[in-house]
Structure 1
Amino acid sequence: MSARVDDGMAAVSEWFDGRSDAALLLVLAVGLYALFTGVSLVLGYDLGGIVNTLRRITFLSAIYAMLVLALNLQWGYTGLFNLGVAGFMAVGVYTMGMLSTAPTTNPPGLGLPLPIGILGGVIAAALVGAVASLPALRLRGDYLAIVTLAFSEIVRLTYRSPVFETFSVAGLSLGTGGSTGMSLPTNPIRILFYENSQEVTSPPSAFGEAVFGTFEAIGVRAPVVEGTAYAIVLLFVVAGVYALLRRVGNSPFGRVLKAIREDETVAGALGKDTRLFKVKVFALGCGLMGLAAILWRIGGLASTADFRPITTFYVFVALIIGGAGSNTGSVVGGAVFASLLFEGPNFVRRVVTQYVDIGIGQTPSTIFEAVGPLASLDVTPLLAYTISDVNVSALRLVLLGVVLIYLIQNRPEGLLGHRTETAASVDLSERPGGEDR
């Protein structure tokens, strides 16, 4: 069985090698959409339910793709082991919230336009990343990971502290909301469909009425249309981040980063100030993490709990799946993780609940009660225990563990890690007589 799986992975790898990046991403998107459309049909969803499912998958895949691309810039390109992803995400979101939240809300903000708030959040995350890297970059490997993880927790606990729930700076009232969170600005895509995009009860504009009326006629409600439009915008943002990082990787700056990854001592011996390069790449990566978190939070599918260390773990898992050092692998890993590993267990639970007769009273409260009936070949209690609302998160972690163990043993470079970009500006293997020298 193991040999068949290995042969299958080798065949997939060989197929990947023969395809362009655009073709890979297109095939992946078509495959994921087809899979979740089929699952939605099995669950009996109407057209509105199918579109809503695809909207959620697209949204999460785009967000995780951006996060993985940012982490790949630091770890895949430069070899910096940053375990503080969630902390830099929090800096971006809370800064944006304090800049753009209306002064009349609780906690209050400055009420600046949302684009200024987003820009301010990205800059704040980049600056905090640069400052945090100054003492941390004296360390390497596991020690850098420990420092960045500790920094992430310090940031999260500081923002959630009651001390900063509401405070004043230069006579201006601001706040993070403490443990209750913040009332952030509404989805910016609403400006296309409503007369006043900042008012939840605002009536639709003429364009909004036309669009909503058209889609409601086929069973797709207005909130789904609005969310789908936002998810499509996110895809263009991912494409922009991908193009930016591709240019960075192919530039002289990017080649120095990859040289640092391969051997920092040699890069320094060639006259490169490796510490300055690492500070710059740390700032750029953290700024992009802040941007991804802002777009995630104002999209309506996140909360302050998403800044826990588990979020950093998820981003690393996605990068490992796709393969560190490859931008295309980062997008692939983010999409596969978000759709199959993150959302997959929820859909498994729905399918099993719908087609397996599990009574309310049959759900065991402990693993021992669930395993005991197996002696009489009754798997229903174990199934009910596994897919319960309480344990579906644990099921996700078990699935992640299985995937990681397999990848580490059989394909440690990930799906596209074998296509890691090298520091050389040209492919030396293609020079005349390169194979004979």
Structure 2
Amino acid sequence: MSSSVRDFEINDTMLILGALLAIYVLYLVGGTLLGYSLRGQLNSLARLTFLIGVYGMLALALNLHWGYTGLFNIGIAGFMAVGLYTMAMISKPPASASAGAATVSGLGLPLWVGILGGMLAAAILGLLVALPALRLRADYLAIVTIATSEIIRFIVTSDQFQTFTLFGKQLGTGGGRGLLLNFSDPLDPLFNSGPYTAIEHALDPLVGGSSGPVLDSLTYAIILLLFVVAYYWLMKRTGESPFGRVLKAIREDEQVANSLGKDTNQFKIKSFMLGCALMGLAGILWQMRQGAITPTSFKPQVTFFVWLALIIGGAGSNTGSVLGAAIFAGLLYQGPLYLKNIIRGSIQVPTAPNSFAGAVGPIIHGHIMPFVSYMMGNINALQLVLMGCVLIWIMHHRPEGVLGHRKEEAASIPLLRPGGGSGGPKPDAAADGGEEQ
């Protein structure tokens, strides 16, 4: 590894850590303004870390599709749902005979078997989608993936699949009611260990009660960050491998890659299946500890959120994927809700008008509080408007993302001519991207 590559990696690591530190400091300052106790601060940081972990994994998986291979996948929520529901049906304990017909049963296999089964199911669905769709143009692939995602969402919410029999086993998705995950917490051995219990007892006086739930949430969020590191390592190794270099060659010009004897369809199918499996795992980790699956969670806006995180950081860069996920989760997803609490805790907000016109009209006379109260009451809808405005601004002013043009090159060696303009060989691209400007 050359010194320039090592310098890029160090700089990128410091950039991610610096961005995370800045976001956490903002939340700590906001919590202080709101008068949060230590419990409230820890809960806030646990939620923020959880979101960064989930969207970091999904952005890295999407970067394999779009940033590496140029595959336009906008059905991410569907692959997440397949992974999660498959895991639930494999690992959920069988229902007892006295539980009633409405209770959804499972196979009762170990959780790790369910996780592997969920990833495999998402990969197989990716294969079924890829076989016909990858022979089409990119926009048709997008249509196929979003259609598949919606088909999956309608299936898991349909009463027809609430319970069904497969190979003599009673299974089901739970329909619109969702699915209870009545198996033990996979992290119970950790939470019941001696060192962990000692940390809980030490925190109990500081939080004014039992610190178990908040500490458990924070611990699981940190575990998700470790999964982000594992995803990053996998994507980095994939990008540096001969397989990854072919994927990036396909992204640049598929016809040229094909003319060099590479079966581009096979490479695209393998890339698509791997990315779908990683999305399925992210879906499992997203709701595995919530005790139940909520089918309304897999709306198309989840896919939009992941794409926005990737676009913010910059497609083609693993570092940009993680950085974009942190910025999206901290500033665009949780930020407006946090800001609403700060405003309501700082000033007296009057009753919100019933209409947008009633909120905007008083501004002409210099009264902005009706508009502020209207925004506070409709923060969820305005949050999507803010995301759309940020996306439009990025696409107009910085389409390459916050890191600039960091797309990884397909070549494994420098392609610049020695002595080209600087008296010697120019540094090669960074391992995480760094195409020369």
Distance 1:400 1:32 in 2: 18
Deviation of 1:211 after TM superposition, in Å, equals: 3.1
Relative to structure 1, is the Cα distance of residues 252 and 320 closer, same or farther in structure 2, using a 3 angstrom cutoff? same
Deviation of 1:207 after TM superposition, in Å, equals: 5.2
* Alpha carbons 1:186, 1:298 under 8 Å: kept: no
After the TM superposition, which of the residue ranges 262-271 and 399-408 deviates more from structure 2? Answer: 399-408
* Alpha carbons 1:69, 1:331 under 8 Å: kept: yes
> 1:395 matched to which residue of 2?
382
> 1:337 matched to which residue of 2?
328
> 2:268 matched to which residue of 1?
278
Alignment partner of 1:102 is 2:100: no
After the TM superposition, which of the residue ranges 362-371 and 300-309 deviates more from structure 2? Answer: 300-309
What is the TM-score when the length of structure 2 is the normalising length?
0.89
| CA offsets 1:87-126 (integer angstroms, 9 cap, x no match) | 1011001001101112127311111111111111111111
* Alpha carbons 1:341, 1:396 under 8 Å: kept: yes
Alignment partner of 1:424 is 2:411: yes
Alignment partner of 1:265 is 2:252: no
> 2:340 matched to which residue of 1?
349
Deviation of 1:17 after TM superposition, in Å, equals: 7.0
Q: Give the AA of the match of 2:204.
A: E
Deviation of 1:217 after TM superposition, in Å, equals: 1.7
> 2:62 matched to which residue of 1?
71
Deviation of 1:417 after TM superposition, in Å, equals: 4.6
* Alpha carbons 2:61, 2:275 under 8 Å: kept: yes
| CA offsets 1:161-195 (integer angstroms, 9 cap, x no match) | 1001011112211010000111124542233224x
Alignment partner of 1:24 is 2:15: yes
Distance 1:155 1:331 in 2: 27
* Alpha carbons 1:122, 1:287 under 8 Å: kept: yes
> 1:5 matched to which residue of 2?
none
For structure 1, list consecutive stretches of 5 or more residues without a partner in the other structure.
1-15, 195-204
Deviation of 1:298 after TM superposition, in Å, equals: 1.4
Distance 1:207 1:20 in 2: 35
Q: Provide the identity percentage.
A: 51
> 1:88 matched to which residue of 2?
79
Distance 2:115 2:404 in 1: 32
Deviation of 1:18 after TM superposition, in Å, equals: 9.7
Distance 1:214 1:188 in 2: 24
Indicate which of 209, 212, 233 corresponds to 1:243: 233
| CA offsets 1:119-168 (integer angstroms, 9 cap, x no match) | 11111111111111101111122111111111110111011110010111
Distance 1:218 1:190 in 2: 23
Deviation of 1:414 after TM superposition, in Å, equals: 0.4
Q: Give the AA of the match of 2:369.
A: T
> 2:316 matched to which residue of 1?
325
| CA offsets 1:301-341 (integer angstroms, 9 cap, x no match) | 97322211111011101100000000000000111101110
What is the TM-score when the length of structure 1 is the normalising length?
0.89
> 2:147 matched to which residue of 1?
150
Distance 1:262 1:298 in 2: 38
* Alpha carbons 2:249, 2:410 under 8 Å: kept: yes
1:24-423 correspondence to structure 2 within 5 Å: 24-104=15-95, 106-184=103-181, 185=183, 187-194=185-192, 209-219=197-207, 221-300=211-290, 303-359=294-350, 362-388=351-377, 391-423=378-410
* Alpha carbons 1:326, 1:417 under 8 Å: kept: no
Distance 2:18 2:185 in 1: 30
Secondary structure in structure 2 of the residue aligned to 1:168: strand
* Alpha carbons 2:52, 2:225 under 8 Å: kept: no
Deviation of 1:19 after TM superposition, in Å, equals: 5.7
Distance 1:399 1:221 in 2: 35
Secondary structure in structure 2 of the residue aligned to 1:45: coil
Q: Give the AA of the match of 1:128.
A: L
* Alpha carbons 2:359, 2:370 under 8 Å: kept: yes
Relative to structure 1, is the Cα distance of residues 289 and 193 closer, same or farther in structure 2, using a 3 angstrom cutoff? same
After the TM superposition, which of the residue ranges 375-384 and 38-47 deviates more from structure 2? Answer: 375-384
Secondary structure in structure 1 of the residue aligned to 2:165: strand
* Alpha carbons 2:156, 2:295 under 8 Å: kept: no
Secondary structure in structure 2 of the residue aligned to 1:159: helix
